[in-house]
Amino acid sequence: MKNSFKILALVCLGFAGLSASATNPTDENAPVQLPAFVVTAPHLTPAEAEIKRSLDALRALSAKPMALKIALPLPEVKCAHAQPEPKTGGKAVVVAGI
């Protein structure tokens, strides 16, 4: 059992070594000729061209100087003050609104 395992391990290592040496070129400094592919396609599709035009228009608008209002308006706060009501016998009723 142990001998057959050792033999199997040596055979596997031998195949791994042969396949590794077959994939590596003998001269590592030699240039490798790769296949060339020619792609003929438009640079931008019509949808991409429309998006580019839209973005260019937005960028042109942002290039113009504009005045920004720094102070923000305060929200209106409605608040009812204490008023004596004749129905309650002169007691004050406070109603607060947001």
Tell if the pTM clears 0.75, that is, is over it.
Answer: no
pLDDT in tens, 14-48: 676 665 554 555 677 888 888 998 888 778 889 99
Cα(93)–Cα(81) distance, integer angstroms: 8
pLDDT in tens, 42-95: 788 899 999 999 999 999 988 778 777 778 777 776 666 655 555 655 555 555
Residue among 72, 75, 71, 95 at smallest CA distance from 83: 95
Amino acid 94 reads V
Residue among 71, 74, 90 at smallest CA distance from 82: 90
Q: How far apart are the first and last CA of the chain?
A: 88
